[in-house]
C-alpha cells in the first residue's frame, strides 16, 4: 500500500516480484482523508499481509496511522 510517489515505486516492485513468481495485491487509496480503511482491511484479511510504503514521518505519520488502524480492526 502506498500513496504519492511511492505508489509508482510500489508498482515497479510488484512487477519485479511477479517476475520471481510472487503475487502482490497493490492498494493506492487515492485519498488519505477519507481513508478507505475497509478496502485496506479486506486486503489484509485476504492476504494476511500488509506492507506500507511511505517516505513520510516514521512516527505519527500516515503510515503509522494505517498500521494502527489495521492493528486495531483486523483479525489477522
Check residue 65 and report its DSSP letter. Answer: H
Domains of the chain: 5-73 (3.40.50.920)
Question: Can you give the pTM of this predicted structure?
Answer: 0.82
Give burial (CB, 10 Å; 0-12/13-18/19+) of 40. Answer: buried
Q: Which residue did the predictor score with more confidence, 56 or 44?
A: 44
Phi/psi of residue 8, nearest 5 degrees: -65, -45
How do residues 24-40 score in pLDDT, each as one tens digit?
A: 999 888 788 888 999 99
Q: Where does the chain show beta strands of DSSP type E?
A: none
Amino acid at each position: 500500500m502506498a500513496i504519492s510517489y511511492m505508489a509508482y515505486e510500489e508498482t515497479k516492485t510488484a512487477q519485479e516480484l511477479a517476475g520471481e513468481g510472487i503475487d502482490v495485491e497493490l492498494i493506492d487509496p487515492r485519498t488519505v482523508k477519507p481513508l478507505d480503511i475497509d478496502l485496506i482491511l479486506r486486503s489484509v484479511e485476504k492476504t494476511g499481509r500488509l506492507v506500507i510504503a511511505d517516505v513520510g514521518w516514521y512516527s505519527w505519520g500516515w503510515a503509522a496511522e494505517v498500521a494502527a488502524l489495521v492493528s486495531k480492526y483486523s483479525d489477522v
